[in-house]
Structure 1
Amino acid sequence: MGNEATLNQLVNEQEKAVFKSMRTDMETGKAVLNVEQLGYFLREATLDNTILRDADFKLMKSFKKHLNRVGINGRVLTNGYDVNGETDPEIPAADVDFGANELDVKKLKAMCEIEDDEKEDNMTQAQFEQTLLQMMGERIGEDLEYWALFADSEVARSDDPLLNTNDGWLKKCANHISSRSIAPSNGMFDIEDGPEAMFDAMIKALPPRFRKNRRMLKFYVPFEVEDAYRNILINRGTGLGDSAQIGFNALSYKGIPIEHCSTLDDEDGRGMLGNRVCSMLTNPKNLAYGIWKNLSVEPERIAKNELTRYWFRIRGDVDYYFRNGAVVSVMNSSDAEALPELSRA
């Protein structure tokens, strides 16, 4: 439905004023958020979502965007002279790697409904706009980070129609390592050795070119890993342990910051992975996500029920600049649950 038709069917003046402030998409005629509204919506969507807040955001003006990258593989310096002191004509050329991953936006929808009485009795124009932008932005942001991490196009639509639409950061990562309880013959770390063993294995699995500047990296971990590491610091009986016990200071391991990402705690996401728990190591700016610039909100009037449904349509995608510039570690849910208690010993 076009924005003009939308305005004609709205009966609440405060609501009508909000939709008048939106702009009309020239192709579809639908109401889309203006620049200020879109900025507000996206701030709310990322405010409490750890990885989305850190990642490299792209406001996309087309449905596809190349994430261009360039790098040089291997060594470039060599002895440039032969045994006679003459310039060696056989110096190998540097292997320059030009490439690009691509953001290709997928259609996603969300819906909320508000009864007429609630609007008439409780909402000013500002409050109505806050509901549409702030509250829905916050909730959509939570689902967006869940989708950005756990999406897997091989998941059956009947199992999770959201995750089915795409492949997320966990799947697209080029370097996956497992605990020995999952892979006894080639697992990279033992849970019994604590979270430090996992951190060391993740650092080792990251290609050398990506671990040169450790302060640019970050561990994103679930609650169990963060809690276990804090317990270990507490047990050391040092000033650092005291601060970990009575405060909530930022954590790091060998110079790499550690941050809890609550989306990695999501039971549905873990279930889709076969009751597995993931942690991630990467440079946050290696993570890219894009949102199509035209985010539309379309009301659907249900007169007989005296309510209006609001359909949000958003297009987005996620990828890495360098897929081999990240490591994802995997452990069983049962091991993750035991980790905090093991760390107290």
Structure 2
Amino acid sequence: MTTVSVTLPETKYDVLIERGLLKSVGELVAKQWSARKIALVSDSNVAPLYQEQVGTSLESAGFEVHRYVFPAGEASKSLTTLADLAQQMAVDAFNRDDSVIALGGGVTGDLAGLLAASYMRGLAFIQIPTSLLAQVDSSVGGKTAVDLDNIKNIIGAFYEPDLVIVDPDTLATMKQRDLVEGYGEIVKTAALEGGEFWQLIETINSPADLITHSPELSARSIHYKASVVIADETESGTRQLLNFGHTIGHAVEALADGGLRHGEAVSIGTVAIMRVFENAGLAEKGITAKLRERLAAVGLPVTDDLLTSPKVLDKVKNDKKNRHGHLNLVYLTAIGQPKIKSIPSSEIASFLHLTVAD
């Protein structure tokens, strides 16, 4: 078993990574928590696959499990769904000694995490991510949130889990598009770190390769993200590096109105932002093509007609990470060499106009 430890000023937790780990959930959670009620939260896609298995394992370990299911999809990451789940917990008499487990992908982790953070001002929380995107990204770092209309992650909290359990075998039940989506975040992370991680990326040429190398891809991604989070838990400094590809990516994702997955949008955003910096002479020649090739190798989109829309610039200028009239754009001078450039909001349009050219 691979263990990545995340040590923060006020808490510490482990990320456990191993094939078949789902069979041992009850035993692992019992080492972390005493007997209590657990709200086991999944969406309607994941619940039929794993909720009964995980719930039974927890019950065998002495926990009282309440299985909650919400409709799958980004639309459920809302205050309405959050209130519905909280209402179910109240009816089932959950109190501050009880806990929440998120079993599912990124939407489940974000939603159940905010549920844990806000119900009775905070319950203990464990993440069991079942998608590649959640395993390498959203399950680590303590970000929990819901959307408001089409504004992503606008209402949330930093709330760390007590434990993260990653079983790469859950990827075998994913549709190819859902699997590949997570690779957008992996390439982003490998490009930030460089070295052996990027060398591993250069060997991935198909979705089948993702399955084969998923334990190592997850471990390396989580280790890098954990190191950044440890250094900057609340995103006031170096944690901003993790936004690489996200500024334009989030804008395109919002405008696509459900037509693009998060990892697909990150892929498009990564290529677009690097094209800007390479054309501006601030990045190594050929780096954009290198990133585009690695993303496209597994079928991820690397451009979109939405990039030509003036609405993209409006979304970017109003990004929630816009601080004091400036937006910090993350880019690479070379693989493994990230930098942040602060651009005044009034200059964003002129600086990013090159994103429409491929």
Q: TM-score under structure 2 normalisation?
A: 0.26
Larger-gyration structure (1/2): 1
Q: Higher RCO, 1 or 2 (CA under 8 Å, sep at least 6)?
A: 1
Q: TM-score under structure 1 normalisation?
A: 0.26
More strand by share: 1
More helix by share: 2
